[in-house]
Every structure is written in structure tokens, then in C-alpha cells.
Chain A
Amino acid sequence: MTPDTHFKEGLAAGEIRLQRCAACDTHIFFPRVLCPACHGTDLTWVTASGAGEVYTFTTVRQRPERGGDYNVAMVELAEGVRMMTRVDGDPQAVKVGMPVTAYVGDIDGTPAVLCRKSEA
């Protein structure tokens, strides 16, 4: 199974799958055929815990009739990977360093990694 296929099948099953390099222990996102840290090719798959925090974010401004403002965030997962995602809820409530939980949701009918603010 190709890296892309494995990742997409994970999303379809409600799992966020990350690669892990057997040689240097680095977790890898986006999926690929080699480790960008040590260039090893012995990669295994793990399911992300979902724990993470907001590294940075922006509020994209949009007129209310077109759907209103929305959040775009960079989230760092506990495994050490960073990905673009979206934090649910009021965009103005998002803060750098805010703990979030990543989950598989849906954007325009396609499974996608989304985040919600973690309970304190």
C-alpha cells in the first residue's frame, strides 16, 4: 500500500495515521517513502494520540454571506509532527499554545483532520 493510500484509509477509518522511522524514531507527516530526518526507508505506521497544541494560527476574514470568518491553524501533535488544520468554534478564541485534540472530521464531504479545544 502506498503512503498516501495508507493515510487516506486511516482517515476513512477515523484514524490519524503517522509514519515512524525505525532508524531514528522520528514521526513523519505528510506521508512519504523516506524519513526526511535521516533518509532511512524503514517506516512503520502508528495511530496518533490526537493530543496537540496550537503552534500558530490565523483568522481568515470572509463576508458573512460567504460563510463568515474561519480559523486556519498549525497544530503540533504530541508525536512531534506539525500539520495544517482547523480549530472548531469561535476563531477569536484560538490562542498560540492552546491544548487541542485532533480528530477525523469532515470538510466538504471529505474526511480531514480537525481539532477541538481540549477540556481543561
Chain B
Amino acid sequence: MDHALRGKSAIVGLGVAGLGEAPGYTSWDIMAQSAQAALADAGLALKDVDGLFCAMMEDSMPVLMAAEYLGIRPRHVDGTLTGGSSFVNYLASATAALDAGLCDVALVCYGSNQRTASGKLVTASRLPPFEAPYKPRYPVSGYAMAAQRHMHQYGTTREQLADVAVAARGWASHNPQAFMRDPITRGDVLAARMVSDPLGKLDCCLVTDGGGAIVLTRADRAKDHAKTPVYVLGAAAESTHRQISQMPDFTVTAARESGKRAFAMAGVKPSDIDVLQLYDAFTINIILFLEDLGYCAKGEGGAFVEGGRIAPGGALPVNTYGGGLSCTHPGMLGIFTIIEAAHQIRGTAPGLQLDGVDLALAHGNGGVLSSQVTAILGSEATL
């Protein structure tokens, strides 16, 4: 039997702003520009928005700040902060809210000026008290320790991690919106300055400015809008920990459960998906998520990404816009995984557009491999 929320909402507007560098603009400015772009894409205006979903690093009550800035009075708000996965999480909560009639037009929005304002990743909170004294470089050291454990347990190599970065750059080289477009090789990744072993500079995501927004409505209203609707077929979350030291097994993420439930809700299986947009804060993320989402067995992710399998021309297209490693990473990436997944289904990708995409997966990650959210998006043909 179909899940009660399968296909009940649709993305009808997509917008980005300030990708790369937006000197002088505040994070709120970039958020607002993204929101306006997404609403214009949907043929709507700010006055139509009655459901607001927003996470920002700038304020502990971001959704209230966003409503104030935008000059709107939403009747339903959700500012749940699960790090970079927040926006994929909002696909589930917005769909439920739309279906329940709590709102009719849901705006999901984000903006950040972390590159031009501070030049480094902005984090929402202090380090946990039992970790702070040891000065892990946050967040890279957490991911580095996951990579180290994966290498120890399964023989994963730095060369295989490098192939993830090379693939991302391959896609980015075709995308005019991408911040880094010059091709790189395995050797370049291996030779780059080490940051937190075994991860070097090119194993780490970019630090950019940028914002993104999407507009969702109930599926029965989706065709009233100008652009091809993209339906939310499945969305599911699971969280395991906050402090990396408390992660149950450093080689297994909660994407196993979020993926399983998102696929079940959508009524599709991993091999049905035409394109994957995975949250790539670091190269190890992709290997872990490909394993946990069912694309290869645990421990085989390193071998899986070799030989350009996830690069342009490869058998499994992953992060077709260049991802956080090469396109943009303004601190929280989740909104961009949704935007690229939706573009691929609509046929409007800013970079390489694949043929005949009906099903796309967007996966969000938050904290230090803490919060995992998987969404399956589909074209009208998949309803």
C-alpha cells in the first residue's frame, strides 16, 4: 500500500543566489535573494507564502528572523536545526504540513556569507564538552576519524577517496555555477596539503557564500505553476548521535535506515534511481552513503568509486553539479542536493543535464555524520 504522504507535495520553484562569493551581502540578504528567485520561478510572490522553513547559522531563532526580514507572517514555521540535513528534513515536514492543511505554499530557504565574511566554516555551537579539550578541528577531524576507521576495517585507500574528489570536479567543470572548475587528478588530491589525516585539502568541501530556496505546494495544485512539478515521493530521517565519539560504528551511518524508509515510502529501489545528489562535505561521505543507501556492500565503497563510475560518463551519476567538493558549500549543503535533483528531473540543470531523469535521490547529512535524511523525488510519470 502506498505511504499516505507519497507524492502529496511537489516542488514548483527553485532558486539560488550568491553562489561562490557575494562580498558585502549578509547571509539574510542571500537567503532573501534565493527565496525571491524560487518564488519567481514558481510564479508566486512572498505574499503567497504561508509556510516558512528556514535554518541559518546566524541566529538561534532563524525562522523568526527570516520571516521578519522577508516581511511575511507565516501561519506554519519549522526551523528545526539538524545541520546540513535540515533542508532535506523539511521536505518531510513540509509535505506533512501541506497535506494537513497547516499551510498552502511552503518556502524552504537558506543563505550564508561564510566565505567573504569569515573565510571558514561557520558552526552553530560550541564543541561538546567532552571533546573540546582535545581540539579536534571541527568538523573535518570527525570525518577523518571515520575515514581512518574505514581504511583500517576495509582497506579503503586515499586513492579511492581521491577518486570521489576527481569525479566531483569532473561534473563541476561543466557547470558555470561551480566555484572550482579546473580539472584535477588523483595525484593532485594526494599531493594537496594534509588537514586532518587521512583527509587533505582536496578531500574537504569548499568554503563559499551562497543560498538556495525551494517552493512546495500540494500536488493537486502543482500543475498551476509554470515549471514542471517535481514530486516528493519519499523522505525519511534518522539520527544517531551529536558527538562523533558517540557514533555507534564509525563505518556505518544512519543513512541505512533513512534510505530504507525513503525507498519504501517511494516504492522504488536503489537501482531505479537515475541520479544521486549526496551530501559531500568530505570525500569519505560519498563512500559511506553509497554503501549505506544500498549501492554496494559495506566496505566496498572505495572500490565502487574507482574508474570514474560516479564521474561524468560513468554508470552511476553522483552530484552532477559538482557537489560541496567543487560547486558550492556555504556551510549547509542540503538545499543544493534538492535543487540539483529537481533540476535533473525538470531538465533544467545548470551544468550537465542527463537524459530521461524520472527519479532522483537527494541525501542530507548533518552534524558529524549525525543526522541522515534521504529524499526520493520523481517526475509526473512516477506518481
Instruction: Report if B353 contacts A (CB, 8 A).
Output: no
Residue of B nearest to A95 (CB): B152
Instruction: Report if B136 contacts A (CB, 8 A).
Output: yes
Cβ < 8 Å to B, chain A residues 74-120: 74, 82-86, 96-97, 107-108, 110, 112
Q: Are B149 and A56 in contact (CB under 8 A)?
A: yes
Given contacts A72-B136, A84-B130, contact A56 B197 (CB under 8 A): no
Listed from nearest, the 9 A-B pairs whose CB atoms lie closest are A56-B149, A58-B144, A96-B152, A59-B197, A56-B145, A84-B245, A84-B131, A58-B196, A56-B148
Q: Are A110 and B133 in contact (CB under 8 A)?
A: yes
Q: Are A83 and B245 in contact (CB under 8 A)?
A: yes
Instruction: Report if B361 contacts A (CB, 8 A).
Output: no
Instruction: Report if B195 contacts A (CB, 8 A).
Output: yes
Q: Are A58 and B134 in contact (CB under 8 A)?
A: no
What mask results when residues 30 to 59 of chain A are scored 1 for a CB within 8 Å of chain B, else 0?
Answer: 100000000000000000000000011111
Q: Are A61 and B145 in contact (CB under 8 A)?
A: no
Distance between Cα atoms of A58 and B199 in the complex (Å): 9
For residue A58, which residues in chain B have a CB less than 8 angstroms away from its CB?
Answer: 136, 141, 144-145, 148, 196-199
Cβ < 8 Å to A, chain B residues 319-356: none
Distance between Cα atoms of A82 and B198 in the complex (Å): 21
For residue B245, which residues in chain A have a CB less than 8 angstroms away from its CB?
Answer: 74, 82-84
For residue A97, which residues in chain B have a CB less than 8 angstroms away from its CB?
Answer: 152
9 CB-based A-B contacts, threshold 8 Å: A56-B145, A56-B152, A58-B141, A58-B199, A59-B197, A60-B196, A61-B197, A70-B135, A83-B245
What mask results when residues 240 to 260 of chain B are scored 1 for a CB within 8 Å of chain A, else 0?
Answer: 000111100010000000000
Place the interface of chain A in its size category.
20 to 34
Distance between Cα atoms of A72 and B130 in the complex (Å): 13
Chain B: minimal CB distance from A3 (Å): 12
Choice from A30, A61, A96 contacting B148 with Cβ under 8 Å: A96
Instruction: Report if B137 contacts A (CB, 8 A).
Output: yes
Instruction: Report if B193 contacts A (CB, 8 A).
Output: yes
Given contacts A30-B130, A83-B130, A83-B245, contact A61 B250 (CB under 8 A): no
Instruction: Report if B146 contacts A (CB, 8 A).
Output: yes
Q: A56-B152, A97-B152, A107-B134 are in contact. List 7 more A-B contacts (CB 8 A).
A: A29-B130, A57-B148, A58-B196, A84-B244, A84-B245, A108-B133, A112-B133
For residue A30, which residues in chain B have a CB less than 8 angstroms away from its CB?
Answer: 130, 243, 246
Cβ < 8 Å to A, chain B residues 143-185: 144-146, 148-149, 152
